[in-house]
Chain A
Amino acid sequence: MNTELAVLSIIKKFSKGNSEELSINTSIRHLNFDSLDFLEFQMAIDDEFKIEVEIDDFLKCNHVSDIINLVNIYCNKK
């Protein structure tokens, strides 16, 4: 599975809104994640891609596409 599909799949697990509208352009703010969702989402990303994303980098992401880019950057660092 490519990074985009994998990230979207993880988001769907945590999403409280209409996940059918989910795309790479979706704003992180519109995911309606609470604090625990964000934590578990970040840990799920780390687990899925076997990476350790810096939380400060993660918090700078505004859109789903930013998360995908971040994952790609960390995967390429491995």
Chain B
Amino acid sequence: MMLDISYQLVIDTCLKRGFPSDIRIVFIELSNNPFFLSTLMNKKNKYQNVGNDLIFDMIVAVYISNRKHFLPIVHHEIDDLFFQKDIPRLVLGLHSKISSLLPIVINNNIPFVLVSDAQKRVKDVAFLRGADPNRINFISSDNSCLLNAKSHLKRNYLVYSMIDFSFNHEPMYSKLSDRMLKLGRLTQSPTIFGLSCVNSAGELTYVSKNLELTADLDLVKQNILSFIHQHKPYSEFNFDKLN
């Protein structure tokens, strides 16, 4: 199969550098390559990532497909609420190649459950990042999803769920579901929304905001859209009904 030229450059750079676990080395080399950057013009991946976020995703994709170990640097600005093990917490986010949060919750022994149907892939990626995949508990996104999530919230688990989805199998994740916001409101669980951005050094920064779910739901949704736009100004999301 003919590979996209930009992906071929990522593969070549990874191979040349010997897949270092510090992927910043590959990131810096690629982001200083004007030809590589020119191949990314007007490019967006399915998570709507461009620029540094896109380069990072491409490198991670190559590492994962080659089953190479990697340790991305993650900075985080997380409210203390996140680490409080005696209250339920609902943490919402956007899909991405890798999660900034999983190693944090695993390494801090936070009881948590992830809403995902991609269990094998999530476990594989956790393993490649040196996090114990057996510590990840899952809830499937079927029609008992919210009940299962509620059950875990009642036991003071951190429930982690992505709220973006692709509409009618379109390639891009561009829709947001409000069902987890409704769960947070109905169960009166403290709810956080967060996402990750990649800086020019190839390091991840996880940023989050607490959601005030007692406010009008449309206002909460608008706050989420504004927060995403603030950190990913090129992305286009809107709320829609999840099929």
A35 to B148 Cα, complex, angstroms: 10
* A-side interface size class: 10 to 19
Q: CB distance B143 to A33 under 8 Å?
A: yes
By the criterion of a CB under 8 Å from any partner CB, how many residues of chain B are at the interface?
15
- Residues of A19-78 at the interface with B, using a CB-CB cut-off of 8 Å, are 33-40, 42-43, 54-56, 58-59
* Pairwise interchain contact B148-A55, C-beta atoms closer than 8 A: yes
**What's the least CB distance linking B71 to chain A, in Å?**
36
A38 touching B146, Cβ below 8 Å? yes
Whether B122 sits at the interface, judged by CB under 8 Å, is no
Most buried by A among B144, B147, B148: B147
- Is B89 at the interface (CB under 8 A from chain A)? no
- Between A and B, how many residue pairs show CB distances below 8 Å? 40
Could you say which residues of chain B place their CB within 8 Å of the CB of A40?
186
**Residue among A33, A35, A42, A56 making CB contact with B179, cutoff 8 Å:** A35
- Among B45-69, those with CB < 8 Å from A are none
When C-beta atoms are compared, the residue in chain B nearest to A55 turns out to be: B151
B24 touches A (CB below 8 Å) = no
- Which single residue of chain A is at the shortest CB-CB distance from B178? A36
Minimal beta-carbon separation of A3 from chain B (angstroms): 21
A38-B186 in contact (CB<8A):
no
Which residues of A sit under 8 angstroms from B186, Cβ to Cβ?
39-40, 43
For chain B, residues 137 to 155, give those with C-beta under 8 angstroms from any C-beta of chain A.
Answer: 141-148, 150-151, 154
Q: Which residues of B are found within 8 Å of A39, using beta-carbon distances?
A: 146-147, 150, 182-183, 186
Q: Give chain B nearest CB distance to A7 CB in angstroms.
A: 17
Chain B residues with CB below 8 A from A54, complex form: 151
Chain B, 163-183, contact with A by CB distance < 8 Å: what is the 0/1 string?
000000000000000010011
Q: How far is the CB of A59 from chain B (nearest CB, A)?
A: 6
Residue from A35, A42, A58 with most neighbouring chain B CB atoms (10 Å): A35
Question: Closest B-chain residue to A36, C-beta based?
Answer: B179
Nearest CB on A from B156, distance (A): 14
State in angstroms the CA–CA spacing of A37 and B141 once bound together: 14
Are B151 and A34 interface neighbours, CB within 8 A? Answer: no
A31's closest neighbor in chain B, by CB? B143
Closest Cβ neighbor of A43 among chain B residues? B186
Q: Is the CB of A56 within 8 A of B151?
A: yes
Residues of A within 8 Å of B144, CB to CB, are 35, 38, 59
Q: Provide a sorted-by-A list of 24 A–B residue pairs whose CB atoms are within 8 angstroms.
A: A34-B143, A35-B141, A35-B143, A35-B145, A35-B179, A36-B146, A36-B179, A37-B143, A38-B146, A38-B147, A39-B146, A39-B182, A39-B183, A39-B186, A40-B186, A43-B186, A54-B151, A55-B147, A55-B148, A55-B150, A55-B154, A56-B151, A58-B147, A59-B144
A sample of 4 more A-B contacts (CB under 8 A), given A33-B143, A36-B179, A39-B147, is A36-B182, A39-B182, A55-B147, A55-B154
